Amino acid sequence: GEDVEQSLFLSVREGDSSVINCTYTDSSSTYLYWYKQEPGAGLQLLTYIFSNMDMKQDQRLTVLLNKKDKHLSLRIADTQTGDSAIYFCAERYNQGGKLIFGQGTELSVKP
């Protein structure tokens, strides 16, 4: 079946690292994505990882993929108040390319 799960809330202090976790079910997924959504806005693509990779780093963002456990994480280094938003993990369903999203993790960054 198609299912992506995330924890709902994460609170960190400014300057700390944030780690947002996600589990997915479709082992044939080729791409996994992280999107950011600010209040009332659409989804902003943050980064993605191809399924044959274990890790991808992009400035303050590090994505780790454990394909065996179907676990994906997003680490944000030196978290800033501007990082406060909802973060969505999504897997690209192999057939047709539709994305299956998790419920989103609300990140709150306290000064």
User: Where on the chain is the footprint of other proteins (CB under 8 A)?
Assistant: 4, 30-31, 33, 35, 40-45, 48, 88, 90, 92, 96-104
Closest distance to other proteins from the beta carbon of 81 (Å): 22
Sign of CA dihedral 66, 57, 97, 7: positive
Closest distance to other proteins from the beta carbon of 35 (Å): 7
Strand 43-50 and strand 31-37: the pairing is: antiparallel
95 burial level (CB within 10 Å; 0-12, 13-18, 19+)? exposed
C-alpha span between 64 and 53 (Å, rounded) = 9
Closest distance to other proteins from the beta carbon of 111 (Å): 26
Closer by beta carbon to other proteins, 1 or else 42 = 42
Closer by beta carbon to other proteins, 96 or else 111 = 96
